[in-house]
Amino acid sequence: DTAVSQTPKYLVTQMGNDKSIKCEQNLGHDTMYWYKQDSKKFLKIMFSYNNKELIINETVPNRFSPKSPDKAHLNLHINSLELGDSAVYFCASSQRGGANYGYTFGSGTRLTVV
Amino acid sequence: GENVEQHPSTLSVQEGDSAVIKCTYSDSASNYFPWYKQELGKRPQLIIDIRSNVGEKKDQRIAVTLNKTAKHFSLHITETQPEDSAVYFCAAPVKGTALIFGKGTTLSVSS
């Protein structure tokens, strides 16, 4: 069973479109995250979210919005896609509501904006 | 802001040699230091971690050392093998909310 699953694995779309990436974890973890990995492999935190608090990295454009219907799901919605949004997006989860425990990452979604 | 610096950015070794990757962090409240390995086209995977109450931890050929006073921690890989070739990331929590990752080290092990 996949612990953290993301869909879709690949996403090619045109500039200006709106798209969503879905993430689900079956580990019973309290906290979920979205990271962006650019072409230089740099992993940058976008959001962390548990059932009490959403923390947004202030450098993330407000075109990006996380949506969590329940503790096991954290989706990422992106409005008005731009060329610079092309990257691999990783979802991750950790236990006990904090970053002081190891993450389990999803397999990533490669987003290409053309 | 808080950050994690990682060196070197690339490292090439011969099979059987040792490899060392170093990181420094800025948040003095950080108390958990994981290392992740990312193979080409794959997800990052946790390979070893250390908490601030210990100075060293080993798991077979890999070890991590921590110097809290200097805010340094390092990954040591002994007897490197071609399958160790990957990108390695260090990380540290910032304000307990999320892990901040170093910029990665591309390790190449040639046989």
Contacts of A103 in chain B (CB under 8 A): 34, 36, 44, 46, 99
Candidate from A40, A43, A102 with C-beta closest to B101? A43
Query: Tens digit of pLDDT per residue, chain A (114 long)?
Result: 679 999 999 999 999 999 999 999 999 998 999 999 999 899 999 998 887 678 778 789 999 999 988 889 999 999 999 999 999 999 999 986 566 778 999 999 999 999
- Chain B: residue whose CA lies nearest to A89: B43
The closest of B87, B18, B8 to B47, measured between CA atoms, is: B87
pLDDT tens track for B47-99: 999 998 889 999 999 999 999 999 999 999 999 999 999 999 999 988 777 89
In the prediction, which pLDDT does B28 show? 85
E-only strand ranges, chain A: 4-7, 10-13, 19-25, 31-37, 43-50, 54-56, 64-70, 73-78, 87-94, 104-105, 109-113
Give residue ranges of B with CB < 8 Å to any A CB.
31-32, 34, 36, 38, 42-46, 49, 87, 89, 93-94, 96-101, 103-104, 106
